[in-house]
C-alpha cells in the first residue's frame, strides 16, 4: 500500500474530517469507521462518523458507535456537519450510489476525498484511492493504512477492537479468510490486547429470542432447495417483517445457513424490506455472485458475497432469480 506525500501532509495537521460508510452498515463498515475515527483523533482531527442508515443493534455496544450520525434519522444535522468538512474518508464502498442521497449531497462539497475499500470495480470517486479487492475486509486495509503511516503504536485497544470487528464479520469468523494476511493481522491485534472472545460474544452471542425464532421460521417455512441447480433460496415477505417485528440487522447471516448444505453452491436470500426488495447472494468456489448481482440487479460486492436491491415485487424478483438459474447452471456445476 502506498500513501502519497500529499495525503500524509493532509493528515498530519488537524482537520475537520467526516468518516462515511455505506447504507445498512455491517460490522466491517462500522468497525472500519470507528477504527479510523479513533486513529485520526490521535492526530487532533475533529472527526464525525456518518452512515446513510442506522446500524444493527448488536453494534450498539461497540465503543463510539452511539456517537455516529445517521442521515435517515437526522438529515439536517448531517448536512450541517458535512458542510464544514475538509476531508471525507469513505470506507467499505466504492461508488456514490452506495450512499444514494447522502452521496448526492456530499458530491457538492469541495472537501478532499480519501477512499479505502475492498469491493470490485471501484469508481473514480476520490482524490486518494486505496482499493484492494483481494483484502478480506476494509478493516484489514485500515490496519495496513495505519501501519504504512508509520503509526503502529496508535493501534490501541479501541482501534484494535474496531478493526477486529470487521475482520470477523467479513470473513465469517475467519471461515472464509482467503489470505494469511488476515490471520496475521488478527494475531497482531490479539498481541496488542484485543479480546477476541469479547468481540465475538458482542456480535454473535447477543441475539434476541425473536431472531432465533425467525431463523427457525426461515428454515422450516421459507427455504426452497433446487437440487438441479445446487441452489438454496430463502425469502421473507412484508408480512414476515410484521409478524417477527424484524428490525435492521435482524436478518444478517441467515443466507449463510444455506451454504452449510453439502450440495448447495449458490445461496440466495430475498427479503421484502419495508421499502425495497433486498437480495443477498453467497457462493462456494469459483461461482461469481458479484457478476450476477451487477449484471441483473445493478448491485455488486465480492465474488462469493454480493447484494443488490430490486424495486420489483418480491414475487417477480424471486421469479427473476429462478429464471436465471438455467443461465448459470454450467457455472454452478463448474464451481
**Residues at the interface with ligand 5GP (CB under 6 A):** 98, 119, 280, 299-302, 305-309
C-alpha distances in Å from residue 239, one per residue of 60, 114, 244, 250 = 27, 41, 8, 15
Query: Which does residue 128 touch among ligand 5GP, Mn ion, none (CB within 5 to 8 A, set by kind)?
Result: none
Other beta carbons within 10 angstroms of residue 318's beta carbon come to 20
- CB 235 to ligand 5GP: min, Å: 14
Q: Binding partner of residue 306 among ligand 5GP, Mn ion, none, CB under 5 to 8 Å per kind?
A: ligand 5GP
Query: Which CB atom, from 246 or from 306, has the smaller least distance to Mn ion?
Result: 306
Instruction: Decide if residue 140 touches Mn ion (CB under 5 A).
Output: no
Helix (H, G, I), strand (E, B) or coil at 263: coil
How many Cβ atoms sit within 10 Å of the Cβ of residue 314?
17
Cβ closest to ligand 5GP, residue 112 vs residue 303: 303
Provide the minimum distance between the beta carbon of 201 and ligand 5GP in the complex, in angstroms, as a whole number.
21
Q: Which uninterrupted H or E stretch holds 35?
A: helix 27-41
Query: Which alpha helices (H) appear in 44-195, and where do they start and end?
Result: 75-83, 100-106, 138-148, 157-170, 180-191
Q: Does 250 bind Mn ion (CB under 5 A)?
A: no
CA distance 53 to 70: 6
Contact 87, 15 (CB under 8 A): yes
Inter-axis angle of helices 180-191 and 138-148, nearest 10: 60
Of the candidate spans 97-105, 133-141, 173-181, 293-301, the one that interacts with Mn ion by CB under 5 A turns out to be: 133-141
The least CB distance from residue 119 to ligand 5GP, in Å, is 6
Question: In the complex with Mn ion, which residue's Cβ is closer, 146 or 264?
Answer: 146
The pattern of x and - marking residues 27 through 66 that bind Mn ion according to CB under 5 A reads -x--------------------------------------
Torsion of CA 105, 109, 112, 113, to 10 degrees: 10
Strand partners, 18: 48, 88
Residue with the shortest CB distance to Mn ion: 28
Choose one: 137-145, 201-209, 231-239, 278-286; the region binding Mn ion (CB under 5 A).
Answer: 137-145
| β-bridge mates for residue 131, sequence order | 117
The CA-CA-CA angle for residues 56, 58, 62, to 5°, reads 105
Identify what 301 binds: Mn ion, ligand 5GP, none; CB under 5 to 8 Å per kind: ligand 5GP
Q: Supply the minimum distance, in Å, between the C-beta of residue 57 and ligand 5GP.
A: 16
Of 29 and 194, CB closest to ligand 5GP = 29
- What stretch of H or E contains 16? strand 16-20
Which of the choices Mn ion, ligand 5GP, none does residue 222 contact, using the CB cut-off of 5 to 8 A by kind? Answer: none
Chosen residue from 54, 170, 240, 288 binding Mn ion by CB under 5 A: 170
Nearer to ligand 5GP, 211 or 280 (CB): 280
Cβ neighbourhood burial of 128 (10 Å; 0-12, 13-18, 19+): middle
Footprint on this chain of Mn ion (rule: CB under 5 A): 28, 92, 138, 170
Amino acid at each position: 500500500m502506498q500513501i502519497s506525500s500529499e495525503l500524509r501532509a493532509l493528515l498530519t495537521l488537524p482537520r475537520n474530517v467526516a468518516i462515511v460508510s455505506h447504507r445498512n452498515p455491517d460490522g466491517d463498515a462500522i468497525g472500519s469507521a470507528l477504527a479510523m475515527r479513533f486513529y485520526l483523533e490521535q492526530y487532533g482531527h475533529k472527526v464525525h462518523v456518518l452512515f446513510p442508515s442506522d446500524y444493527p443493534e448488536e453494534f450498539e455496544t461497540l465503543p463510539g458507535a452511539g456517537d455516529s450520525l445517521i442521515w435517515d434519522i437526522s438529515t439536517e444535522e448531517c448536512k450541517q456537519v458535512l458542510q464544514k468538512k475538509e476531508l471525507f474518508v469513505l470506507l467499505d464502498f466504492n461508488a456514490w450510489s452506495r450512499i444514494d442521497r447522502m452521496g448526492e449531497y456530499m458530491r457538492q462539497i469541495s472537501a478532499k476525498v480519501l477512499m479505502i475499500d475492498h469491493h470490485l470495480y471501484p469508481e473514480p470517486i476520490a482524490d486518494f484511492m486505496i482499493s484492494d479487492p483481494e483484502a478480506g475486509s476494509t478493516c484489514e486495509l485500515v490496519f495496513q493504512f495505519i501501519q504504512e503511516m508509520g503509526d503502529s503504536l496508535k493501534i490501541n485497544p479501541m482501534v484494535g477492537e474496531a478493526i477486529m470487528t470487521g475482520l470477523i464479520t467479513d470473513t465469517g469468523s475467519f471461515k472464509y479468510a482467503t489470505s494469511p494476511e488476515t490471520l496475521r493481522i488478527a494475531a497482531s491485534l490479539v498481541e496488542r490486547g484485543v479480546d477476541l472472545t469479547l468481540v465475538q460474544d458482542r456480535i454473535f452471542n447477543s441475539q434476541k429470542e425473536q431472531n432465533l425464532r425467525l431463523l427457525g421460521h426461515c428454515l422450516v417455512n421459507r427455504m426452497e432447495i433446487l437440487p438441479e441447480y445446487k441452489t438454496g433460496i430463502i425469502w421473507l415477505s412484508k408480512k414476515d417483517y410484521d409478524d417477527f417485528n424484524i428490525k435492521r440487522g435482524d436478518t444478517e447471516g441467515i443466507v449463510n445457513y444455506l451454504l452449510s448444505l453439502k450440495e448447495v453452491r449458490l445461496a440466495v436470500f430475498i427479503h421484502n424490506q419495508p421499502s425495497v426488495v433486498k437480495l443477498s447472494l453467497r457462493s462456494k468456489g469459483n461461482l461469481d455472485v458479484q457478476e450476477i448481482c451487477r449484471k441483473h440487479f445493478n448491485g455488486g460486492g465480492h465474488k462469493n458475497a454480493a447484494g443488490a436491491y430490486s424495486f420489483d415485487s418480491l414475487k417477480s424478483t424471486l421469479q427473476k432469480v429462478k429464471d436465471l438459474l438455467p443461465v448459470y447452471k454450467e457455472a454452478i456445476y463448474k464451481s
